[in-house]
A and B are shown apart, each in its own frame.
Chain A
Amino acid sequence: MSHKPASRKPGYFLFFGTWYPNNRLVFGLLGLFIQLGVIWPLYAVFSGAEPFILGLPLSFAWLTLMLLLAFAGMLYLYITDNTRLDREHNERVRAQYQAESKGQNGEPN
């Protein structure tokens, strides 16, 4: 996409011509780990009945851990997304306010 700025956008990374927020990278890697954790090959490593962890067989405890990790990951995504969107919203409002108080009549960006 040629109309996108070529320079670095703080807090974002470039992927196939589109800028994505950095938290997507962290979450994507975690998601990949969790997905492999509930199927072969990673789950196969932790698939035994023993040892017991908190009274659960290893296979069951591992799956519970994956479920909790997915929850933690999504909470992280939700909180960082909201922080970013709020910040960008504030920046837009501030930019618009500055543009108006300077008496410029151009489109605020």
Chain B
Amino acid sequence: METGTVILIVVGVYLLISLITGIIPGLRISKSVDGYVAGDRSMNVMLLYFVMGASIFSAFAFLGGPGWAYSRGAAAFYIIGFGVTGIIPLYFFGPRAWRLGKKYGYVTQAELLSDRFDSRLMSVMLAVLSVVVFIPYLTIQMKGAGFVLSVISEGRIPEWAGAGFTYLIVLVYVYFSGVMGVGWSNAFQGLFMMVLAWVLGLYLPFALYGGVGPMFEALVDAGQAAMLAAPGLAGDGSPWNWAAFSSAVVVSAIGFSVWPHFFMRSFAAKSERSLRLSIVLYPTFQIFLIPILIIGFSAILIFPGVTPADSILPHVLMQLELPAIVIGLFCAGTLAASMSSGDAILHSAASVGVRDGISKATATPVSDSTERMLIRILVIVIGLISYYFAVASEVSLVALLLASYGGVAQIFPVVFAMFYWKRATKAGALSGLFGGMLVNVFFLLNPALKPWDMHEGVYGLAVNVLLLIAVSLLTKPDDPKRVQKFMEKPVV
């Protein structure tokens, strides 16, 4: 059979399985918003584990991870570094959020926060922030999917068609099944990605150098030792500095656990224990970044000068004359990475946009079925906006995504205060969040004005925490009865 045909068959089978695993679970959940957004709070450990793992590992990890290792060496360790501690806060926040959700019916992060601080403005602010950071994230996933299909088919499938077709499938199962569709397709896609990452990450060094050890030795012998020493190289090839590396790791670690789509998975858990267990098992998913980075390192000496660096993985695969089935599997694996993040983001962006944005801003009560319909409409609208950016714009979206971590991290102090600091007040939380976001955006747009070469999120966080504490202490305490509800400890 012709190579192209085999690849297309493998990809086609994969997409079909994704579609089926995405739609079937939706037939069983209830026709309510709870069912659509939080899966009737019925996810077991395995499902939740894959949803959490897969929704963070995206086309960016699959293409950008090797790309960074290839072009900037040890700087890529940052991608592993922030997740190591970044997941820990969720072990403490998650069960508290879950209990409140079960008792009072919350399904999003903004609902919790706006209730604790008695502020509709906060809800709308968080909804806007979420949708703003979600759209570039989704756009990257679409671009990744289109890009891979186009490279592998040697241009026969144009990028717009690849991205469009892939995301049409995602749209269908997110539209019909909500979070349970995301869950089951992610379980399938996650397993697929893990296997593929390990196979490729071990196969490439063995095929090219005779092993992982010999590969790194060859790099040192070739005078690339500086590249392997942390914190690696900056974008221009000069050594990166520790302040920039450390602050990027810290800001991303802080932002990691409060990503709205990640945080709100807590509400979908079946029980507190299954939630805690899936969080504890999370690092086993992270280990799969190790072979991913090894793929990038393996290409440094053999294929120098590939641009853009993000295309290194498909580039290597096309050069190696691998069997068509392997290329097909890789192609499907990258689509899996892209789709598993894309579906979760699409679903969360729409849920948050409607529940926390539109319905809070207009303050008119809507019925469950209207709300469910609105969410579905927004799924399509956000999908189309992102698709427009994916095919029509040339904006550097990876830069936007990395920057969006600075914005997301600003949510952390208020979430922490909600659960642990009685004295935090509405005025304090609002001014902290607003001030933090403002400073973050200011230094993002004016990097030359930064006092030290650190991630702009650090400055935002400093102002955020300062304002939160100072303004809270200067204002009257919030209603203790309402505050107490958010401070209760786990009992089971």
With contact pairs A47-B229, A59-B74, A67-B287 given, residues A40 and B242 touching in the complex (Cβ less than 8 Å): yes
Q: Is B435 at the interface (CB under 8 A from chain A)?
A: no
B349 to chain A, nearest CB (A): 29
Task: Check B74–A50 contact: CB distance below 8 A.
Answer: no
Instruction: Return A107 CB to nearest CB of chain B, in Å.
Output: 16
Contact across chains for A39 and B88 when beta carbons are under 8 A apart = no
Among A2-10, A30-38, A95-103, the stretch in contact with B: A30-38
Give the secondary structure class of A's interface: helix
Q: Categorize the interface residue count of chain A.
A: 35 or more
Query: Cα distance A77–B212 when bound, in Å?
Result: 34
Q: Does B175 contact A (CB under 8 A)?
A: no
- B99 vs chain A, min Cβ distance (A): 13
CA distance A89 to B492 in the complex (A): 7
Interface centre among A47, A68, A75, A85 (most CB of B within 10 A): A47
Q: Mark B200-238, 1 if CB is under 8 A from A, else 0.
A: 000000000001111011001000011111110000000
CB distance from B233 to the nearest CB of A (A): 13
9 A-B pairs (CB sep. < 8 Å): A31-B88, A43-B230, A49-B220, A49-B226, A52-B213, A52-B217, A55-B216, A66-B81, A75-B280
Interchain CA distance A68-B80 in the complex, whole Å: 12
Residue contact B242 to A71, C-beta cutoff 8 Å: no
B273 at the A interface (CB under 8 A): yes
Do B491 and A74 have beta carbons less than 8 Å apart? no
Q: How far does the alpha carbon of A44 sit from the alpha carbon of B246 in the complex, in Å? A: 10
Q: Give the chain A neighbours of B287 by CB distance below 8 A.
A: 64, 67
Residues on A lying within 8 angstroms of B by beta carbon are 31, 34-35, 38-40, 43-44, 47-50, 52, 54-57, 59-60, 63-64, 66-68, 70-71, 74-75, 77-78, 81-82, 85, 88-89
Chain A residues contacting B176 (CB-CB under 8 Å) are: none
Q: Give 1 or 0 for each of B264-292: 1 = CB within 8 Å of chain A CB.
A: 00000000010011011001101100100
Tell me which residues across on chain B come within 8 A of A35, comparing CB atoms: 85, 253
Apart from A34-B85, A74-B91: 18 A-B pairs, beta carbons within 8 A: A31-B88, A34-B84, A38-B85, A40-B242, A43-B81, A47-B231, A49-B227, A55-B214, A59-B77, A60-B74, A67-B283, A67-B287, A70-B85, A70-B87, A74-B87, A77-B91, A77-B280, A82-B273
Closest partner residue, chain B, to A78 (CB atom): B280
Report the nearest B residue to A81, measured CB to CB: B276
In the complex, A68 Cα to B280 Cα: how many Å? 12
The answer to whether A60 and B77 have CB atoms under 8 Å apart is yes
Contact, CB under 8 Å: A59 / B490: no
Is the beta-carbon distance between B220 and A38 smaller than 8 angstroms? no
With both chains docked as a complex, state the minimum distance between the C-beta of A1 and any C-beta of chain B, in angstroms: 10
Interface SS majority for chain B: helix
* Contact (A49, B91) CB under 8 Å given A55-B211, A63-B80, A67-B283: no
Cα-based distance from A78 to B246 in the complex (angstroms) = 28
Contact status B88-A74, CB under 8 Å:
yes
Q: Which residues of A contact B231 (CB under 8 A)?
A: 47
Distance from B473 Cβ to chain A, minimum over Cβ atoms (Å): 15
- The distance from the CB of A52 to the nearest CB of chain B, in whole angstroms, is 6
Most buried by B among A57, A67, A85: A57
Total interface residues on B, CB under 8 Å, equals: 45
| Chain A nearest CB, measured from B144 CB (Å) | 25
Q: Judging by beta carbons under 8 Å apart, are B246 and A67 in contact?
A: no
Shortest CB–CB separation between residue A62 and chain B, in angstroms?
8
Minimum CB–CB distance from A84 to chain B (whole Å) comes to 10
How far in angstroms is the closest Cβ of chain A from B89? 10
Interface centre among A31, A34, A49, A82 (most CB of B within 10 A): A49
Say which residue of A47, A56, A74 sits within 8 Å of B216 (CB atoms). Answer: A56
Q: Is the CB of A38 within 8 A of B228?
A: no
Given B217, B230, B491, which contacts A59 in the complex, CB threshold below 8 Å?
A: B230
Give min CB distance, B139 to chain A, whole Å: 29
- Contact yes or no, B490 A85, CB < 8 A: yes
Is B243 on the interface with A (CB-CB < 8 A)? Answer: yes
Is B152 part of the contact surface with A, judged by Cβ < 8 Å? no
Q: B249 near A: Cβ within 8 Å? A: yes
Q: Are A39 and B220 in contact (CB under 8 A)?
A: no
Instruction: Knowing A39-B249, A59-B229, A59-B230, say if A78 contacts B491 (CB, 8 Å).
Output: no
Closest chain B residue to A68, Cβ basis:
B283
| Given known contacts A38-B249, A70-B85, A74-B283, A55 and B212 CB-to-CB distance under 8 angstroms | yes
The 8 Å CB contact of A70, one of B212, B283, B290, is B283
A63 touches B246 (CB 8 A): no
Contact of B277 among A34, A78, A89 (CB under 8 A): A78
CB-CB under 8 A from B48, the residues of chain A are none
Residues from chain B with a CB closer than 8 A to the CB of A85 are: 490-492
Instruction: Give the top 7 A-B pairs by smallest Cβ distance, nearest first.
Output: A55-B213, A39-B246, A49-B228, A47-B230, A71-B283, A40-B242, A38-B81
